Structure formats: C-alpha cells, structure tokens
Amino acid sequence: MKQKLYILISTILLSGTAFGQSIRDTVFNDVIPIHHQYVTTDGTDFLIDILIKPQKEPIVIVNHDRRIPLELFFDRKSFLSEQNEIILITSDWEYYDRISEEEKRTPGLRLDPYNQNKFYHIKRENASYTVHSISRALEIQPFKFNYKKVELVGSKKYYYVDCIPHYDEKHSRETWDALDSLNARFSIYTGFYYASGCMNYSLSALPLQEKLPAIKAIAEALRFKDNDHLKDFDQSPKIYLPATINFDSFDFYFERSKDSYDKPALKGWQEKDNTATIRLGYWRGNCCGDVPETERVSAKMINDTVYINYNKKREPLCNPSIGICANAIDFVINKKKYPNYKNLTFKTIE
C-alpha cells in the first residue's frame, strides 16, 4: 500500500514536468537569456539579435530588458509565430517599483528586497493565447537556470529572407530598383546571397542599431506591385529575430569566385564536402552595367536546366569611358540534393 501511495504521489509531483517545463519548476533547462546589449528598438518594434528557434517543447526565455513590453511575447503575431508554448521569466518589476516608492515616501529608509522574479506560462492556440503567472522569490522558492549554448555550426545567420521569384522580367526590374536604393542607404548587399530561390540578407555590414530599420525597409520595399500576399502587411508592433540557413539543406547559390579570373567558364566542377562549384563566367567591361554583380544574380531550376538572370543594371548617367570593372561568378550546388549535378545545363534569360 505504501509503495502504491508513493507511486501516486510521485506521479502527481512529476505531472507538471512530464510534458515540458512548468513555471513552478526548480530547475529550468536550455534557458535563453535576453540581455540589453542584444536588443535594439525604434520605439515601436524590437530586434533581438539572438537565435531563438521554434520547437515542439516549451521554450524558456529570461528577459533582462525591461524596454520590451510583455505583451509582445504573448501573441504569435508579434513574437516567434511558430512556437505554441513559452516560459517567460523576468524580474518582478512591479515588486521593485513598490520597494522604490516606499523608500521615496520614507526618507532614509533602505529596504533589502528579495530577488523577486515573475514567471509567465504562455500557451497559444491558433490566434488566441492564455497566460498564467506567478511571482517567486529566489530566497524562498529557490530555482536554477541551465543556459542554452547557441552555436553557428554549418549554418549562416540572416535577418530577412524573400522568396518571391525575381527571375522574371515583370518583377525583377522593380524589385532591384528598390533594393539598389536600400543598398545605397544600408549596404544590404554586403553578406547578401541568393540561394534556393530566396534572397537572404545577413546585413553583416551594419551595427545592431541599424539592422532593425534595414529589415523594416526591405519588408516595405518588397510589399508592392504584384506581390499580393504582402499587401495586407501587419504593421502592429513586433519582435524581429534572426534565423539561420543550414548549408546542408540549401539547393544552390551564387558567390563571387575565389579562383583566378582566367579560369574557363563551365569547365570542370570542384567538389568540397557536400558542395560542387563551377565557374559561370568572367566579365570585364565598363562600370555602367556591362559587368553583372554577384549579388544581383537570380535563377530557377527546371529539371536539369538552370535558367539564370544576371539582372544587369544600366546606369544612364554613367560615363562608360571612366574605369574598368570585372567580376567572376561561381554557381554552388548541394551534391546531396542533386547527385546528377554534372548533367546540368545553364541558360541565360533577360
């Protein structure tokens, strides 16, 4: 009988953690801390420059930046839309505000507050959510954080991705004109690459405080013309997050060639790990649009044919007699996804 009772009690005690973390736990694992130095805001939206990926289990987040409104973490429209359950932990700011007010009312009073924290259990279902919260003092209800290590291994961080097909003439010119204008302001082409039908912006040339306005400007620039799915753009406050692309999962991309410029075009594949690379060509000419820029190259693959649009930009006010430009562009493909890559043919479209 005692053994059965012990099993019953143990089951009740463990039920709160059997299916994930609870706000009443004493140990929290894989905790993601958000510190002030990794957050920037324009007064409305926020960028947290930390990799936070959605997962099936609850994500545990400790937010140390009071500037971020709690409500932005609650709704999937404003934060990590694919995540259904979140444990959010913050300092109990209301508790500390009361302590501060009490000290102001009583000159000379210096209180010794508890290490008080607020725990929120956020559960999302479709477009709605519920939030349960408790306040806990570390000295009375001890708890421990085991922090998660985030490493970029075999992947690349980016801040915006656009998968609209820019290889067709109808969208291409309008899109590139808008992006060229943004590049002059934000240098968005630095660290930019086109892979698997998507344009990925790493914004590597920008400091943190400039990344958020760049992200919003790119989103606004691409929300026009025939992009019907972007016209009803939700402009309510939100938290932006970077993401990663795993190099093992990509299809193909273009890069500025690392080899000598005299290497022949479309002759001989170079294999390295899971990739195969071939030179598309070497261009030399005036700087007014004769030479394609790697960042502007886009393509689509149909069967064993790669249709490439170099998206050359002609500068009408440029003097072609001034200066010479040159560029060599490589095509990089995932060998695992395309084991018959040597059978590919390349066709240029305008």
DSSP states along 29-68? EEEEEE-GGGEEE-SS-EEE-S-----SSPEEEEE--TTS
- Indicate the residue among 243, 277, 292 that finishes a domain: 243
Distances (CA, A) of 260 to 150, 166, 267, 287, 296: 36, 29, 14, 20, 21
The verdict on 323 and 343 lying in the same domain is yes
> Among 39-53, 140-154, 316-330, where is mean pLDDT lowest?
140-154
> What DSSP assignment string belongs to 337-349?
T-TTGGG-EEEE-
In this structure, what token pair is assigned to residue 91?
A: 């300092």
The verdict on 201 and 90 lying in the same domain is no
Number of domains in the chain: 3
Kindly state the average pLDDT of the residues 42-71: 95
Kindly state the average pLDDT of the residues 230-252: 76
The verdict on 111 and 204 lying in the same domain is no
Q: State which H helix or E strand residue 91 sits in.
A: strand 85-91
Residue 18 has pLDDT above 60, yes or no: no
Residue linked to tokens 């430009």: 325
The verdict on 37 and 112 lying in the same domain is yes
Residue linked to tokens 């997050």: 241
The verdict on 112 and 184 lying in the same domain is no
Share of the chain above pLDDT 90, in %: 43
Over the chain, what is the mean pLDDT? 83
**Rounded Cα–Cα distance for residues 73 and 60 (Å):** 12
Contact by Cβ (8 Å): 29, 146? yes
Inside any domain, residue 16: no
Q: What is the pLDDT of residue 170?
A: 53
Contact by Cβ (8 Å): 46, 240? yes
**Rounded Cα–Cα distance for residues 274 and 248 (Å):** 7
For 169, how many CA atoms within 13 A lie in the half-sphere containing its CB?
A: 3
Inside any domain, residue 20: no
Q: 272 Cβ partners below 8 Å, 6+ apart?
A: none
Share of the chain above pLDDT 70, in %: 83
Inside any domain, residue 103: yes
pTM for the complete prediction? 0.73
The verdict on 63 and 136 lying in the same domain is yes
The verdict on 62 and 124 lying in the same domain is yes
3-class DSSP state for residue 299? strand
Kindly state the average pLDDT of the residues 52-63: 94
In this structure, what token pair is assigned to residue 274?
A: 């899971």
Q: Are strands 85-91 and 59-63 parallel, antiparallel or unpaired?
A: parallel
Q: What is the pLDDT of residue 246?
A: 66
Inside any domain, residue 17: no
**pLDDT tens digits for range 245-258:** 666 667 888 888 87
**pLDDT tens digits for range 288-306:** 888 998 877 878 888 899 9
Contact by Cβ (8 Å): 331, 254? yes
Inside any domain, residue 272: yes
**Rounded Cα–Cα distance for residues 280 and 68 (Å):** 47
The verdict on 119 and 172 lying in the same domain is no
pLDDT confidence band for 68 (50 / 70 / 90): very high
**Rounded Cα–Cα distance for residues 230 and 227 (Å):** 6
CA torsion angle 241 245 251 257 (round to 10): 110
Kindly state the average pLDDT of the residues 102-106: 86
Contact by Cβ (8 Å): 117, 134? no
**Rounded Cα–Cα distance for residues 83 and 63 (Å):** 17
In this structure, what token pair is assigned to residue 163?
A: 């998968």
Q: Are strands 27-34 and 59-63 parallel, antiparallel or unpaired?
A: parallel
Residue linked to tokens 């545990």: 60
Inside any domain, residue 19: no
The verdict on 283 and 329 lying in the same domain is yes
> Among 46-60, 97-111, 205-219, 225-239, where is mean pLDDT lowest?
225-239
Inside any domain, residue 192: yes
Q: What is the pLDDT of residue 240?
A: 94
The verdict on 324 and 339 lying in the same domain is yes
The verdict on 122 and 216 lying in the same domain is no
The verdict on 231 and 122 lying in the same domain is no
Q: What is the pLDDT of residue 31?
A: 96
| Side chain identity, residue 236 | S
Instruction: Give residue 238's domain range.
Output: 151-243
Residue 213 has pLDDT above 90, yes or no: yes
Inside any domain, residue 4: no
- Indicate the residue among 83, 115, 147 that finishes a domain: 147
Q: What is the pLDDT of residue 5?
A: 34
Range with top average pLDDT, 5-19, 78-92, 285-299: 78-92
Query: For residue 320, which phi and psi values (nearest 5 degrees)?
Result: -65, -15
Q: What is the pLDDT of residue 208?
A: 92
Q: Residue 305 pairs with which residues in a beta bridge?
A: 302, 345
Q: What is the pLDDT of residue 270?
A: 92
- Indicate the residue among 210, 243, 276 that finishes a domain: 243
